[in-house]
Each structure stands twice: as structure tokens, then as C-alpha cells.
Structure 1
């Protein structure tokens, strides 16, 4: 009687070595005398090209008379009939479960828990990241055996790619009839990046062995914000113990509660990198009045500094608003060029060209200019019309060329005059009004002040994104007095902010604002009617 073949599905994205992993498995099986084949079905994902590789090999291809024959192997994985699933990322693991490739009666699931965020998550107006915990919980239920860890980080620490770490986890899971030495021999036969691949293989192997051997060990807990977007870089000035940064750290230690020290340390580095050290000191100066109010309101009672922490976080984000100067500066940083080379896996001797699509609007150009000149450019007239025609279409700038680099370098060098720019004046006027409003309500209505501090999250990005967010922010700001008179002002303001982030058109926000104004009008009508009734009763009593 012939035995069934072993099916292995590999779900990977472009550049992760899914094809190499499939080739290793096929080579391993064939070298040990098992007929094997691999197929791939390329797909399209919002993050990058996603491909399903399917490997199938037959352990013993014999008929009823024990005669060896050529087996018939499947070209694609069949739901409910896959023995092993290897997923290079958490969402790819979820796709495998959704497709029915993982079943509790037979499937060993090996998955990396790191995240590569989808475009839907990245472009969300609020925090659009998908909570990874339900993925892990569902995987524990769906698979017969579940091995999971951040294999991308394991591979990176060993100077290799995730395919090598997953290959090691496959060996450590003991789901195939091969020894560790036989797995390693397949890597050596490939002859490419052998030592780094073996190092990542060993780390992945040990991770899977620990998962197999310690069944009483608690399952890994994954926080939705535990894995940052890959490729993020620390701010340049924060990478060294700059004397002026040390001075800022000492000021934080002496003037602010330890509960928010981590936020402040990160904030001052961000702002010093964004503008200069003096700008970071301005940031701390703006927080000091709020610190006093927060102490009086809650810190002495509850032992926290919730309002101060929220204001500190959002103030740092607002003061480092994205303008043309910042965008240009980030695009020509050496760390960005290095990151792109790493992402596209460019060899040391290969030339890399980076093309940037830029479309600065008239308003963004005016915002970069000194305030008086910027306002003059925005006035209707021949100059404005000419600039609008020149900027009506975007252009592609090759930052790896001398001309393109110098063009953006020139824009980035305007950082020294940022404080005199029109955008700076506008943003900081809004910041001062926001802080003053937060302080004003903090003493009498702490929950409302907390939501006012958090309302800054509406203002983000640049260009159309920033304009849309600022428009919604000002709509809410205009009705703040009405919000303060509602039964639960903090909850009402929170619902308005969430509505503003729900859709780009602002339809949901406009609906809630209309409801708020209508209820206020009805309330005023009732109050006026009650006053008229009291006056009428008083007059009638006086007459009698």
C-alpha cells in the first residue's frame, strides 16, 4: 500500500528568500532519495509581492506489490491536506489559516511573529495597525503544533535572511524524517552565504527545540505596538552623548516626574534633530505650566502624570511637523540610502538609483518662505498664477544623482530660517492656543483637558493630509464651548475626534457636529421658554 506524500506550503513575500527555502527542502529530500518537486504561485499583496511556494515529496513510492514507481505529486496545496506551513510574517500566517491550509489534525505551523504593515494600516488616518494577538490565539487553535517567534529578528542578528531561520525552525520542529546534519548539508550544497545561513539556521533550530521541549512554557505574548515598522532609524543627534543633549537630560531629571522621563528623553532628541537644541529647550519650557497643573490635579493623589504625558507626546509630534524642509532632509540622509540598499538587497558593487516623486503645492512653497513673502505669494495675482502653473504637475527627482541630491540639499539647508517661515508662525500659533485650552480646562474638567491634549492626533503629515486634518481640528475647536456644556464633555470630544479619523471626507464628523448644534439650539429654546414662563407667572402674580 502506497504512503501519502508530505506537503509543505511556504508563504513569503518578495526578498525574503521563499524560493531559496523551497529549493533547500527539495534538495534535502532528493539527496536522501525521496522524489520531490516544488511549484510557486505568485500573487500581489499591498506590502510587496506575496508568493505561495509548495513543496511535495513522497517518502515511499511503492505499489501493492512493493514495487517502486514514479509518484504523482500535486502542484498546489489543498485545504485540509497540508502537513507543514511556513509563514514569513504574521499576516501571511493568517492568510494560510483563512485558506484552510492549517488544520488541527495534521498541520505543523511555523510562523514569524514580526509585522510588515499593509498599505491599509499605513495610510489609516488613525492608528490602523491590526492587533496581532487574535492571529496568535487562532493559530494555537488551528494547528496541531505551533512554533512561533520573531524569526526575522533572529535572521538579522545573524547576518542572514528569514528563510535560513525558518529552515532551522523546520529542522527543530522535528516534523520531517531528517536529521539536523542533513538539513545543514543542504545549505552547504547551495554554496551561497553558507556561514551566515548556518548561523541563522542554528538560532532558528534552537528556538523550535525550546518550543517542542517546554510544553509548560507560557505562550509568547505579542503587543500590537511591540514591533515597530522595519527600517526605522534613530535620530542622528540621539546616537551620541552630545554635551547639550546631556544638559537636556539633566533638566528633565530635575524638573519633571520620572513617570514621563522616557517620553521626554525621546522628544528632546527628536526636536534637536528636527531643528536645534534651543528648540528642544523651548519644548520643555512649554510643558512646565502644564506640569504644575497636573501635579495639583492628579499627581499627588494618583501618583501618575497622565495629562502631562499625553501633552508631552503630542507636543513633540506637533513641534516636529513635516514641512518641505524636513521631507527633503530625510530623503537625502545616509541612513535612508543604506536602508534602501538593504531593502532591495543590492550587492556592494551594484549601482542603485532612487527616484522620488515630489509634488509641492503652492501653499507648501509659500509656507517655506519668510512669513511676509509667503503671504504675498498666496495673494491672488500674476505671481501666484505663474507658480501654480509651474507646480501643477509633480516631478521625479533622482536623489542618487548629483543634481537631484543638491536640489534637495538646498531645500534642507533652509532649516536655519524655519523659525521665520510662514508655516512656523501658523503652526506655533495653533500650538500655543492648544496648550492654553488644555491648561484652561485642566483645573475644572480633567477628562476634557485630557481629550483636548489628545486631539492633536488629528494634525499630521503634510500636503493634503495635513490640510484635511487641520480642517477637521478647527471644526472641533470652533464648537469647544458647546462640548464643554454637554453632560460628558470628555467623552463627547473623544467621539468627535474618532469621527474625524473615520473617513477622509469628514462626513461622519459633520453629522455629529450638526447633532451637537441642534441639541444646543433645542436646549436654548427650552431655556428661553422656561424663562418666558417664569416671567409670565411673575407678572400674573404681581397683577393679582
Structure 2
């Protein structure tokens, strides 16, 4: 809290860390404006990050009341250990401010949002590479004199504004600056568009600023939803009854898988999915699944759905023109009544076009290097398609319309053949080594996407499964296969997997 009774001989310093689109510049301008409105001198500077979400922009503000009629000389950059307030628009940015020495226990009030906006480094890895927010929790409790932390992104969404408004409100409510709430609100009121929403967000931040403890912000996986009593239609409820007949450990995944397969194709495809899970569950029961909590069936319920609802050009085109997607983007962009124009960047390859051919025809074309090369020359280039235009929308609409023919196309034939071989290996392994069979099912998580991503996943999938014969006789075979899966997800090129496979071969 600011002590008004003590002389203010040193500037009050504030550092703001925000990504593009979070209103960091607006927040800095508001802070300068509120200081100047109260007769203080204030100065702000900024150092932009490397790129969108690979580096936050750092805004630095110093302010000082007038003294003896002389204007002060204010610094352009923060000095570690000499910052009064650090404002972070995202939890990991708070952590980075601590690492940079901007937050100190004898001086700094840390105001941070607890939500996550994942960095490129977190999203680029094939497996789990999300930073642990508990480390920031622990560090903030030690490094800062005072912490004001809550989900300001949620407060912004509920207020219909951007996160800068709740951050500004939290700053006002913290008492770190010697200015009244009314002067903060007056600065917002001087703006033009969005004043009402910004004031609402400011109020939400102000009210939460009195909470002085950093809450638990560990990103826990959501608890599985309860199985509903009804899906709202008789034909769907018949399928729901089949889901409820499965082991309890598999029901949530099976219901999600059913919905995905129906959305991906049709009701008959959902029935095909349920039939596969029921057959696998029958095998599971015969081979001691009850004593293992039916882990094999539970894994199959999740991964068979992913195998059946594989990523393809048809599915991508369908998702890009769904009204829900346009509504979501319009909401995120605060478009309101303004027209929304989207440009989609696509780069089809020849093999993807061939995969859309009828299976018999596609096999012939694939077997011909000349035809494959010719088609690739025709289509393999970058394209920018505007879905707001009739021509652009129709291109995706026609590609999505191939859904009705999907089961007759080359890609579907290849995927179903691959899935059959994968499930055959799992069911052959089940009587020999239950946990290893469960891990064989889980290996499917390596395959995702399409084009080069899909090809790399298939390569890793095959390499991991090549170790199954070596692990069948080991009681810990399933654990070893899980380690291989984790190694395969560590890097794009599979270098970690090479090392792990070498270890398995030497067991």
C-alpha cells in the first residue's frame, strides 16, 4: 500500500508484461493519464517482444509528484530490484518477471492473471510440454511483497472487454498508487468506444484486488462429466444404453467417442464404433479385465474413436465453415455487427488430393510415379482462401461435401486397414501380457494431423510397436512401452525415441 505520509523522493516504478492483443499499451497509457490527472509527472516506454506469444512486450512507467517546480529525470528501463509494481497479463509472464529480478520481497506488489496463454515453446512439442504453474505460485509467494492474483481473463470475458481493464482495476484496488478510484474511472471514461465494458471490467478487478493470497492455479484436467440420463432423442438413447452397458471406467470416453464419430460421419459410423468397443470389451472380460479395472476397454474407447475420426481434408474443410467457428472468432475479435472476413492459409499436397479419389482409382494413381508427380505439380502450392467470398466458401463447402463418399475413398481404406492391423496386434497381445496390450492401444496417440505431421506420427508409431515382441515376456512390458511413447513425443525427429529403443533392445 502507498504510504501518503512518507515523502516521495524516488519515482514510483511499474512494469507491465503483456502479449499482443491484451491491451498492454492502453493500460500503460491509462496509468500515465491517471498520474498526470493528479498532477504527477509520468513517463512510459516499451520494449516489444520477439513476436506474437514468443515474447511479451515490456511497458515501463515511472512517476513522481512535482517538487520545487522542477521536472524530474525518469528512467527508460526497469532496474532489477527497483520496481514497485509488476503487472503480468498471464501467469507465466509473472514467472518471467520474477526470473528477471523485477519482483522483490521487500518492495514489489505483483498483480497477475492466473489464466494461461500457452507459448509457442509449449505448443510446438508433440507431447506434454506445458509449464507447471505451481512453480510460479511457489516463487511468487516468496519473491513478492504482496500478490494479487485471479483470473482476469475470465473477468474480461464476462465484462465484454479485454484484460487491460481488470488489470487497471486491480492496480487501483491494490492501493499501490496514491490516487482515488474516481480518478482511475475518469481516465477510462475519456475513451471512446467500449467505455461501459471497460468500466465493468475495471470494477471486477477492483473488487478482487483485496484478495492478497495467490490461489491454487494448477491447471487440473476437468473432471469427467456424468453420463446423462438421456441424449434427447430415441435413436440416440438406444446408443446411450449400449454405452452404459460398458464398464464404468470406459463409459465417459465411449460416450465422447460415440459423439465424435457421429459428428464426423453419421449415426451408422457411431454404431460401427460401438460395435468395435463392445467386441474389444468382450475380449477384455475373457482375459481378466475385471481385475485390471477394464483398462484395456477404457483405452480402446478413447483411441479407437481417434483412429476412426482421423484428420483429413474433408474434416478440415467442414470445421472451417461451421457457423459456430465464425461465431467464436467474432466473439474473440469483439466484432459485434462488423462484417467478419477470414483468410484461410492452405497448402495441399498431391498425395492429399489422391487420397480423396475412390479407392480403386486412387490405388492406381498412387502406384504411378508419373501421375503422382503430375498431380503434385498441379496442386502443391500455397493458397489463401477468403471464406467471406462466395468462391472461397464454396471451395471448402464442396470439399466438406465429400463426407458422404468418405468410406469409399482411398484415405478411408488405408486408415481402416491400418486400424485393423493395430487392433489385431493389441488383441493378440492381450492373453499374453494385459498391461502391454493396454499400452499397444495407447500407442495410437502418436498419430495425429495430416500431411507431414501424419507421416511423422506413423513412422514413430511403427517404431514403437516394433518393440512389442521384445516386451511380451516382461511383467513391466506395458510400462516400458509407455516410456517409448513418452520418448516419441519429446521431439519431432524422434531422437529421444532412438535412444529409448536402444535401451529396450539391450534389456
CA shift for structure 1 position 96: 1.2
1:220 and 2:216 are equivalent in the alignment: yes
Which region of structure 1 is more displaced relative to structure 2, 141-150 or 192-201? 192-201
1:144 and 2:150 are equivalent in the alignment: no
Which region of structure 1 is more displaced relative to structure 2, 199-208 or 76-85? 199-208
Q: Is the 8 A contact 1:293 1:443 kept in 2?
A: no
1:446 and 2:434 are equivalent in the alignment: yes
> Equivalents in 1 of 2:73, 2:242: separation in Å?
73
CA shift for structure 1 position 36: 1.6
> Equivalents in 2 of 1:429, 1:381: separation in Å?
23
| CA shift digits 1:222-278 (9 cap, x unpaired) | 225469xxxxxxxxxxxx94554444334323x123444332332222221111122
> Which consecutive unaligned segments of at least 5 residues does structure 1 have?
228-239, 521-544
Which region of structure 1 is more displaced relative to structure 2, 92-101 or 102-111? 92-101
| CA shift digits 1:305-352 (9 cap, x unpaired) | 433222212222222110110111112222333334444454633x54
Paired residue secondary structure (2:190): helix
CA shift for structure 1 position 515: 5.4
Q: CA RMSD in A?
A: 2.6
CA shift for structure 1 position 174: 2.4
TM-score scaled by length of structure 1? 0.84
Match of 1:251 in 2: 242
Match of 2:322 in 1: 333
Q: Give the 3 Å change call, closer, same or farther, for CA 98–378 of structure 1 in structure 2.
A: same
> Equivalents in 2 of 1:417, 1:125: separation in Å?
31
Match of 1:102 in 2: 103
Q: Is the 8 A contact 2:432 2:472 kept in 1?
A: no
> Equivalents in 2 of 1:397, 1:426: separation in Å?
29
Q: Give the 3 Å change call, closer, same or farther, for CA 98–241 of structure 1 in structure 2.
A: farther
Match of 1:290 in 2: 280
> Which consecutive unaligned segments of at least 5 residues does structure 2 have?
1-6, 224-230
| CA shift digits 1:22-60 (9 cap, x unpaired) | 2222222222222222222222245267321122211x4
> Equivalents in 1 of 2:240, 2:180: separation in Å?
54
CA shift for structure 1 position 220: 1.9
Paired residue secondary structure (1:52): strand
| CA shift digits 1:283-316 (9 cap, x unpaired) | 22211133345456666557x4433222212222
Match of 2:59 in 1: 53
Q: Give the 3 Å change call, closer, same or farther, for CA 384–437 of structure 1 in structure 2.
A: closer
Tell me which of 409, 423, 429 is aligned to 1:421: 409
1:311 and 2:307 are equivalent in the alignment: no
Match of 1:275 in 2: 265
Q: Is the 8 A contact 2:350 2:373 kept in 1?
A: no
CA shift for structure 1 position 487: 6.1
> Equivalents in 1 of 2:346, 2:294: separation in Å?
41
Match of 2:37 in 1: 31
> Equivalents in 2 of 1:2, 1:478: separation in Å?
71
> Equivalents in 2 of 1:51, 1:381: separation in Å?
50
Match of 2:198 in 1: 197
> Equivalents in 2 of 1:280, 1:100: separation in Å?
55
1:374 and 2:379 are equivalent in the alignment: no
> Equivalents in 2 of 1:379, 1:436: separation in Å?
27
> Equivalents in 1 of 2:370, 2:291: separation in Å?
62
Larger Cα Rg: Structure 1 or Structure 2? 1
> Equivalents in 2 of 1:226, 1:88: separation in Å?
23
1:387 and 2:378 are equivalent in the alignment: no
Q: Give the 3 Å change call, closer, same or farther, for CA 274–482 of structure 1 in structure 2.
A: same
> Equivalents in 2 of 1:131, 1:33: separation in Å?
43
Paired residue secondary structure (1:397): strand
> Equivalents in 2 of 1:152, 1:283: separation in Å?
39
Match of 2:28 in 1: 22
Q: Is the 8 A contact 1:130 1:224 kept in 2?
A: no
Tell me which of 327, 333, 337 is aligned to 1:348: 337
> Equivalents in 1 of 2:311, 2:359: separation in Å?
17
1:411 and 2:416 are equivalent in the alignment: no
> Equivalents in 2 of 1:465, 1:264: separation in Å?
26
TM-score scaled by length of structure 2? 0.89
> Equivalents in 2 of 1:155, 1:305: separation in Å?
43
Match of 1:357 in 2: 345
> Equivalents in 1 of 2:423, 2:369: separation in Å?
37
Paired residue secondary structure (1:80): coil
Q: Give the 3 Å change call, closer, same or farther, for CA 39–368 of structure 1 in structure 2.
A: same
Paired residue secondary structure (2:149): strand
> Equivalents in 2 of 1:47, 1:340: separation in Å?
18
Paired residue secondary structure (1:200): helix
Count of matched residue pairs: 494
Q: Is the 8 A contact 1:14 1:48 kept in 2?
A: no
Which region of structure 1 is more displaced relative to structure 2, 339-348 or 126-135? 339-348
Match of 1:119 in 2: 120
CA shift for structure 1 position 462: 0.5
Paired residue secondary structure (1:368): coil
